[in-house]
């Protein structure tokens, strides 16, 4: 059983939650979203998983298997650094366009290598258009 973190709960974050709910190996899902209004329409009572909603990045007690960072590109660099300062994840999935600055790419790349975290970028829509 694995623990998953979803940072950013817009449309893409919600789709990832749907997939995580269906996955039998997922034990606990952390949703980190600073705008609580994004979460208010979700009925967590019907979900057969433990879901914890946080409004800021903080130290999580559990080991994290997968972190999905689905924020906008303006916040993604700072969000990634703040999460990795407090936590470790075996894998990270970045959604969409990564960063707005080449130095950000280089720094995050070195940080991921030092922490031995495998990362992928999901940019399917940009490729298919």
Query: What are the pLDDT tens digits along the chain (129 aa)?
Result: 899 999 999 999 999 999 999 999 999 999 999 988 878 777 777 778 899 999 999 999 889 999 999 998 888 999 999 999 999 999 999 987 788 888 999 999 999 999 999 999 987 665 555
pLDDT of residue 55: 92
| pTM exceeds 0.85, yes or no | yes
Q: How far apart are alpha carbons 9 and 16 in whole angstroms?
A: 9
Q: How far out from the chain centre does Cα 98 lie?
A: 13
pLDDT of residue 124: 67
Q: How far apart are alpha carbons 110 and 89 in whole angstroms?
A: 15
pLDDT of residue 126: 56
pLDDT of residue 72: 86
What is the biggest distance separating any 2 CA atoms in the chain, rounded to whole angstroms? 43
Nearest to 86 by CA among 115, 52, 50, 113: 115
Tell me the C-alpha to C-alpha distance, in Å, between residue 108 and each of 30, 70, 80, 114: 22, 16, 8, 10
HSE-CB at 25 with a 13 A cutoff on CA atoms is 4
- Could you tell me if 119 and 92 are in contact, meaning their C-beta atoms sit under 8 angstroms apart? yes
How many C-beta atoms lie closer than 10 Å to residue 96's C-beta? 17
């Amino acid at each position: 059983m694995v623990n998953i973190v979803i940072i950013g709960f817009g449309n893409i974050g919600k789709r990832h939650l749907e997939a995580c709910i269906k996955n039998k190996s997922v034990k606990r899902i952390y949703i980190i979203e600073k705008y609580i209004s994004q979460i208010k329409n979700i009925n967590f009572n019907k979900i057969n998983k433990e879901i914890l909603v946080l409004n800021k990045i903080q130290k999580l007690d559990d080991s994290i298997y997968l972190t999905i960072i689905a924020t906008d590109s303006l916040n993604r660099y700072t969000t990634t650094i703040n999460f990795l300062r407090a936590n470790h994840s075996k894998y990270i999935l970045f959604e969409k366009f990564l960063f707005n600055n080449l130095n950000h790419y280089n720094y995050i790349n070195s940080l991921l290598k030092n922490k031995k975290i495998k990362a992928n970028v999901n940019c399917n829509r940009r490729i298919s258009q």
